């Protein structure tokens, strides 16, 4: 496809919006009624948008409690991030209550596990949800137990001089490969971090044997980890303010470049100052600088040469949370929430090359939680859990994307930022398409429209390429032209928490609903069918006019001027019924001068007369579209954006463009789109071309339909086209040349009998029989090269010709 040959200039036309709102034949009363109705609809839409106020609270909100308990000194609560478990230990009942917070059934009450131990510092379950790892201090104990521990069996994890060590953390190493494949996990690795070392162990769940795998000596005084990744960070006990990150991989602890924190020597690093988080499948070590109100990101999982820096412009203690790759910060001093997206890049943001940092602006103005909670007793657990250990409540933090969308639009005063952010969130398709629809209703500027569609389509291409790299789908990238061919169903299966907006979504959720609402159409009917119905009514009106003219010419024999005047009056009176029907359609279609739709026979050649083809060299200039709907320009710009990104547009978009061109009577432009293969070959287009030719008898529609059907090898359509054009002699030759021996010849004879009157009928039948006779003779000589035609039920017409 070559869109440059079709769309040359972008913004050279002045679009007359009123041309597409009213038909030329509406009466003044009809116009007034329609304008009043339109104004009322616009008023209702504005009232709805006005009433949908933007919340004064943060889009991040605290849920209803997902777990509650009676607080006492005998209880302790743990959150298992891998399995999304709340683990409640009670030493008096000598049990654990394990609650899966993903389960929301009313009668679900969790699972009780026998556990006769002192209060633990940490408890977490393995990926198979059957074994749990825990440790306690005073004395130091590290053990593993079974959730069905009917015999009080506890597997001890042996560490040299454990009593002399300080246990910093204990956690399972997750194997994402096995988890994705849903395979049964027979063994698992786990890690114990002390102030002297990092030790990796393996447990066989079948044999209940714990084996040490690797021990790496390192002096540290604090440890941070994230259960969903294999990276950890240690605070060096030998160097001030130095963080030592490690990758625990292949039974080994791989040391990564150290992180030197830019703080004063007198400042000390606390447990809450460092955190390991995951955003967009990358692992980051973050430092919360409470004094300066700044959070710094260092990527551990890839060789990114810069650090992300988030400025809160407010000092004080903070906690963080992550939801669908959005990074949230809660400031305990002003109790405000800051929401960031590290992938969002502000156009005019300045990157400091000297410091190798990228400053990230927050997406919305800082706002507070809607739910009031006592911030003195809460603490956050990654990724989005709040534990209130004073009142015995556990909450989750969620995002209201409707409010986020509105607040982003308010904060940045544009739609493009909101679209950019929402595309990286899951299940936001409906929100984006609704926003797009409202933008069209408000006649969005073409520059802003282009920005939005480019954001959508760049995201579209990235997702396809990511799927190809992962090898999760059969996406093919042609290296020569760098065009992308995708299996849409496979791409949709591998979105990884993102939103994909395809051509189908834009057509079915934005473009088609927009034109249906604007012109009050039947949403179940295609634009093409509506246009064909309009053409049919127009033809009926023309026939009625011709009949009236002939009748008047016989009756009235006086002066021509008087006759013409009286005849016109009579036509108007008798054509009122048809005019009323046409007025309904004229609301939808901008009826232009009929001369615009007359085909110049010098520029187009029919197969019938075999004249030389006149090559159509014209390219579209937007000045040719001055009377065209701005809506058509929107669609073309959207398609151009796809083509510039080498994404082959889906057929639904191409057929929709075809329908819109017919709807707005842009025949010349449609021919260019077909000429330059912007609208590519498809069965749907051939069917439309065929029906359009049937009603208009335009030579170019016939020619395009014929050529496209031949390229697609849709030979039945070609035969059908020849039959409709009464080119019976061509059919026999075509059937023979393309070895279509199964096609019944009796269909051709029946069509000749129905369409033609004697004696022309007998002449054509005789010529067809002559061609068939030659075919039969050649078949007798060489049946392999010339297979015998299908002559069943043809005896009737053979006798008819002989009798004639």
Checking 374-380 for CB contacts under 8 A at 24+ apart, the result is 375/332, 375/335, 379/319, 380/319, 380/320, 380/321, 380/330
- The answer to whether residue 421 is domain-embedded is no
Residue 157 has pLDDT above 90, yes or no: yes
795 contact partners, CB below 8 Å, separation of at least 6: none
CB 694 within 8 A of CB 701: no
Tell me the C-alpha distance between 240 and 760, whole Å.
105
Place of tokens 């110049």: 600
The alpha carbons of the chain give a radius of gyration, in whole angstroms, of 37
Of 223, 222, 221, nearest to 232 (Cα)?
223
How much is the average pLDDT of 166-171? 95
| 490 C-beta neighbours (distance < 10 Å), count | 14
Whether the predicted pLDDT of 318 surpasses 90 = yes
Strands (E), 454-599: 476-477, 484-485
CA 202 to CA 167: how far, in whole Å?
18
Of 220, 212, 208, 209, nearest to 245 (Cα)?
A: 220
Beta strands in 10-140 (DSSP E): 60-62, 67-68, 75-80, 85-90, 95-100, 111-114, 122-125, 131-136
Q: Is 31 helix (H, G, I), strand (E, B) or coil?
A: helix
- Residue 403: how many CB atoms within 10 A of its CB? 20
Predicted confidence band of residue 171 (pLDDT cuts 50, 70, 90): very high
Is 219 domain-assigned?
yes
For residue 126, the enclosing domain spans 120-260
389: pLDDT strictly greater than 70: yes
Is residue 63 scored above 60 in pLDDT? yes
In terms of Cα–Cα distance, which of 523, 525, 582, 573 is closest to 30? 582
- 577: its two tokens: 């019924």
Q: In this predicted model, what pLDDT tens digit does every residue of 367-380 receive, in sequence order? A: 999 888 888 889 99
Q: How many CB atoms lie within 10 A of CB 159?
A: 19
Average pLDDT on 679-692 reads 94
How far is CA 342 from each of CA 230, 299, 361, 397, 573, rounded to the nearest angstrom? 22, 12, 9, 19, 70
Check: CB of residue 394 under 8 Å from CB of residue 387: yes
CATH code, domain carrying 211? 2.130.10.10
Write down the pLDDT at residue 199.
96
Output the furthest CA–CA distance in the chain (Å, rounded).
127
Residue reference for tokens 């298992």: 80
Distance CA(663)–CA(232), nearest Å, equals 62
* CA 704 to centroid of chain Cα atoms: 33
- What is the DSSP code string of 111-137? EEEE---PPPSEEEE-TTSSEEEEEET
Q: Residue 395's pLDDT band (boundaries 50, 70, 90)?
A: very high
- Total domains, the chain: 1
Of 202-211, 345-354, 685-694, which has the strongest mean pLDDT? 685-694
Peptide bond into 759 cis (omega under 30): yes
More confident residue, 404 or 54: 404
Structure tokens given for 758: 């004697």
Would you say 404 and 364 are in contact if contact means Cβ atoms under 8 Å apart? Answer: yes
DSSP state letter for 178: H
For 562-588, write each residue's pLDDT tens digit.
444 444 444 434 334 323 332 332 332
- Summarised one tens digit per residue, pLDDT across range 446-486 is 999 999 999 999 999 888 888 777 664 444 444 445 555 66
Cα 675-677-680 angle, rounded to 5 deg: 125
Does 81 or 543 have the greater pLDDT score? 81
> Which range is least confidently modeled, 6-15, 452-461, 592-601, 684-693?
592-601
Strand pairing partners for 685? none
Q: Mark 632-649 as b/e (b = at least 16 C-beta within 10 Å).
A: bbbbbbbbbbbbebebeb
Token pair in block for residue 254 = 């791989």
What angle, rounded to 10 degrees, do the helices at 745-755 and 728-737 form? 170
Pick from 165-169, 177-181, 267-271, 714-718: least confident = 177-181
Residue 143 burial (CB count, 10 A): 18
In this predicted model, what pLDDT tens digit does every residue of 641-654 receive, in sequence order? Answer: 998 888 888 899 99
- In the numeric block, which tokens belong to residue 609? 């007369």
Q: Is residue 151 part of a domain?
A: yes
The closest alpha carbon to 323, from 224, 227, 424, belongs to 424
Would 675 be classed as within a structural domain?
no
How much is the pLDDT for 53? 53
Would you say 273 and 223 are in contact if contact means Cβ atoms under 8 Å apart?
Answer: no
608 domain residue, yes or no: no
Decide: helix, strand or coil at residue 737: helix
Instruction: Kindly report the number of other CB atoms within 10 A of residue 335's CB atom.
Output: 15
Domain contains 611: no
CB 632 within 8 A of CB 559: no
| Model confidence band, residue 412 (pLDDT cutoffs 50, 70, 90) | confident
pLDDT in tens, 244-268: 999 998 889 999 999 999 888 788 8
What Cα–Cα distance (Å) separates residue 694 from each residue in 376, 510, 596?
78, 31, 19
CA distances (Å), origin 474, targets 240, 486, 498: 52, 8, 20
pLDDT tier at 35 (50, 70, 90 boundaries)?
low
| Predicted pLDDT at 496 | 77
pTM of the model: 0.74
- 607 occurs within a structural domain: no
Is the bond preceding residue 32 a cis peptide, omega within 30 degrees?
no
Tell me, what's the pLDDT at 588?
28
- Those residues whose C-beta lies under 8 Å from the C-beta of residue 95, and which sit 6 or more positions away, are 112, 113, 114, 115
Q: Which residue matches tokens 């591998």?
A: 494
Kindly state whether residue 584 falls inside one of the protein's structural domains.
no
Q: CB neighbours of 257 closer than 8 A, spacing ≥ 6?
A: 245
- In three-state secondary structure terms, 209 is strand
DSSP state of 229: S
CB-based contacts of 208, cutoff 8 Å, min separation 6:
153, 155
Report pLDDT digits (tens) over 298-311: 999 988 777 888 98
Distance CA 596, CA 605 (A): 19
Pick the closest to residue 64 from 394, 380, 399, 377 (CA basis). 394
Report the range of poorest mean pLDDT among 91-105, 253-267, 593-607. Answer: 593-607
Q: Could you tell me the pLDDT band of residue 271, with boundaries at 50, 70 and 90?
A: very high
- Cα 354 from Cα 418, distance rounded (Å): 31
Mean pLDDT calculated for residue range 117-133: 92
Distance in angstroms (rounded) separating the CA atoms of residues 50 and 473? 45
Tokens of 125: 């379950």
Tokens 């994404």 -> residue:
647
Q: Which two tokens stand for residue 715?
A: 């030979």
The Cα–Cα gap between 741 and 792 comes to 12
282 strand-pairing partners? 279
The residue with tokens 């005789």 is 766
Segment holding 703, helix H or strand E:
helix 699-712
Cis? peptide before 383, omega within 30° of 0:
yes
199 is written with which tokens? 């030790």
Instruction: Give the burial string for 420-431 (b: 16+ CB within 10 Å, else e).
Output: bbbbbbeebbeb
């Amino acid at each position: 496809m070559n869109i440059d040959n079709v769309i040359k200039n972008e913004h050279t036309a002045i679009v007359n919006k009123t041309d597409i709102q009213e038909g030329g034949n509406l009466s003044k009363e009809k116009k007034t009624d329609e304008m009043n109705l339109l104004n009322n609809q616009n008023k209702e839409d504005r009232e709805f948008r006005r009433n949908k106020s933007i919340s004064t609270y943060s889009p991040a909100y605290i849920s209803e409690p997902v777990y509650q308990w009676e607080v006492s000194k005998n209880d302790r609560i743990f959150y298992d991030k891998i399995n999304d478990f709340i683990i409640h230990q009670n030493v008096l009942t000598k049990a654990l209550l394990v609650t899966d917070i993903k389960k929301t059934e009313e009668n679900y009450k969790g699972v009780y596990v026998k556990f006769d131990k002192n209060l633990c510092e940490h408890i977490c379950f393995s990926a198979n949800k059957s074994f749990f790892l825990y440790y306690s201090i005073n004395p130091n104990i590290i053990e593993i137990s079974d959730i069905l521990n009917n015999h009080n069996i506890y597997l001890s994890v042996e560490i040299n001089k454990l009593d002399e060590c300080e246990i910093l953390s204990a956690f399972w190493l997750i194997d994402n490969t096995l988890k994705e494949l849903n395979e049964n996990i027979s063994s698992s690795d786990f890690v114990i971090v002390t102030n002297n070392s990092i030790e990796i162990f393996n447990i066989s769940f079948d044999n209940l044997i714990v084996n040490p795998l690797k021990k790496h000596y390192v002096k540290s005084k604090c440890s941070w980890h994230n259960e969903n990744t294999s990276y950890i960070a240690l605070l060096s006990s030998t160097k001030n303010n130095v963080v030592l990150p490690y990758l625990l991989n292949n039974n080994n602890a791989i040391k990564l470049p150290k992180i030197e924190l830019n703080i004063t020597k007198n400042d000390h690093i606390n447990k809450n100052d460092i955190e390991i988080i995951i955003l967009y499948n990358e692992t980051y070590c973050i430092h919360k600088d409470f004094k300066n109100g700044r959070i710094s990101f260092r990527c551990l999982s890839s060789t990114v040469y810069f650090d992300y820096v988030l400025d809160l412009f407010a000092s004080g203690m903070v906690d963080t949370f992550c939801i669908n790759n959005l990074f949230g910060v809660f400031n305990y001093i002003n109790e405000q929430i800051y929401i960031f997206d590290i992938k969002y890049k502000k156009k005019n943001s300045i990157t400091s090359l000297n410091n190798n940092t990228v400053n990230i602006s927050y997406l919305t103005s800082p706002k507070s939680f809607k739910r009031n909670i006592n911030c003195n007793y809460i603490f956050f657990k990654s990724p989005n859990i709040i534990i209130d250990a004073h009142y015995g409540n556990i909450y989750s933090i969620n995002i209201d994307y409707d409010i986020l969308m509105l607040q982003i639009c308010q904060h940045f005063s544009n739609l493009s930022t909101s679209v950019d952010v929402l595309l990286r969130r899951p299940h936001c398709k409906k929100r984006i398409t609704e926003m797009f629809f409202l933008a069209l209703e408000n006649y969005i500027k073409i520059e802003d429209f282009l920005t939005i569609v480019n954001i959508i389509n760049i995201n579209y291409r990235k997702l396809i390429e990511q799927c190809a790299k992962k090898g999760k789908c059969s996406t093919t990238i042609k290296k020569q032209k760098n065009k992308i061919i995708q299996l849409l169903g496979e791409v949709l299966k591998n979105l990884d928490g993102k939103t994909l907006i395809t051509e189908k979504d834009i057509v079915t959720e934005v473009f088609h609903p927009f034109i249906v609402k604007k012109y009050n159409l039947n949403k179940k009917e295609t634009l093409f069918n509506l246009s064909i119905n309009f053409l049919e009514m127009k033809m009926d009106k023309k026939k009625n006019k011709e009949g009236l003219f002939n009748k008047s010419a016989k009756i009235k024999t006086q002066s021509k001027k008087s006759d013409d005047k009286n005849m016109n009056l009579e036509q108007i009176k008798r054509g009122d019924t048809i005019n009323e029907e046409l007025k309904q359609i004229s609301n939808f279609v901008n009826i232009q001068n009929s001369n615009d739709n007359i085909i110049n026979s010098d520029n187009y050649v029919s197969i019938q007369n075999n004249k030389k083809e006149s090559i159509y060299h014209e390219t579209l200039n937007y000045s040719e579209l001055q009377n065209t709907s701005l809506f058509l320009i929107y669609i073309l710009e959207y398609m151009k954006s796809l083509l510039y990104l080498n994404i082959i547009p889906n057929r639904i978009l191409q057929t929709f463009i075809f329908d819109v061109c017919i709807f707005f009577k842009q025949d010349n432009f449609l021919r260019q789109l077909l000429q330059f293969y912007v609208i590519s070959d498809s069965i749907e287009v051939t069917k439309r071309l065929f029906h359009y030719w049937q009603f208009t008898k335009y030579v170019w529609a016939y020619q395009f339909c014929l050529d496209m059907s031949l390229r697609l090898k849709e030979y039945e359509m070609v035969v059908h086209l020849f039959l409709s054009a009464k080119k019976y002699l061509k059919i026999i030759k075509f059937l023979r040349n393309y070895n279509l021996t199964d096609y019944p010849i009796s269909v051709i004879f029946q069509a000749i009998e129905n369409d033609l009157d004697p004696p022309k009928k007998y002449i054509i039948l005789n010529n067809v029989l002559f061609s068939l006779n030659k075919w039969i003779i050649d078949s007798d000589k060489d049946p392999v090269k010339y297979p015998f035609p299908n002559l069943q039920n043809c005896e009737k017409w053979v006798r008819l010709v002989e009798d004639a």
